[in-house]
Amino acid sequence: MSYQKQLNDQGFLTTSVDALVNWGRSNAVWPMPMGLACCAIEMMAFAGPKYDASRFGSEVFRFSPRQSDLMIVAGWCTYKMSHAVRRIWDQMPDPKWCIAMGACASTGGMHRSYGVVQGIDNFLPVDIYISGCPPRPETLINALMQIQNKIREYPTTTLDA
């Protein structure tokens, strides 16, 4: 298109608002670290210098739900804790995403017991499940990249209307 060429020659760029907003969102996914058990140690390694989540724009772990976009539920969740987790999830502003990290968060795992919720999807809308006990930080990076892909395909502006 001719006007695009003209604009580009003058240092402008044309794109859709969706693409621009999603580019921003997907490269600044700030996690809410819901570390409930040993998976949290791997989640810290994911944020630390060796695995370095900052390469994906996700190094800023926010302990305030108001400032985060992604909840990483790392570990087994008891019925008692589920109320706290859900309350924090409800406080996170939309749009938001959720990772069930590890076997316990995904299905209850080895905690096949009366006190443990058998999978956090009983009370949270989970986007990505990670297998492993605990999963390695690379697996969490992979899950984050899948979340990023999901965000990039998310029609932001049309859904909000």
Partner 1 sequence: MPESTFLPIVDELKGTFGDAILEVTVHSGDMFVRVDSAKIHDILSHLKTTSRYIYISDLFGVDRFTADDRFEVVYNLVNLAYQKRIFIKTRVSEQNPVLPTASDIWSGANWNEREVYDMFGIKFDGHPDMRRIFMPEDFKHFPLRKEFPLLGIPGSIELPNTTPDPE
Judged by the rule CB under 8 A, the positions of this chain that interact with partner 1 are 79-80, 82-83, 85-87, 90, 112-115, 117-118, 122-124
At 73, list the tokens.
């539920």
Between 5 and 66, CB nearer to partner 1: 66
Nearer to partner 1, 51 or 123 (CB): 123
Per-residue burial over 4-36, b if 16 or more Cβ lie within 10 Å, else e, is eeeeeeeeeeeeeebeebbeebbeebebbbbbb
d(CA 27, CA 89): 21
d(CA 87, CA 65): 10
User: Minimal distance in Å, beta carbon 71 to partner 1?
Assistant: 14
Give the residue with the Cβ less far from partner 1, 39 or 85: 85
Shortest Cβ 156–partner 1 spacing (Å): 20
Report in angstroms how near the CB of residue 100 gets to partner 1 at its nearest.
Answer: 15
Provide, rounded to whole angstroms, the least separation between the CB of residue 9 and partner 1: 47
By DSSP bridging, strand 31-35 and strand 128-130 are unpaired
59: tokens are 């190094």
Q: Which is nearer to partner 1, 24 or 115 (CB)?
A: 115
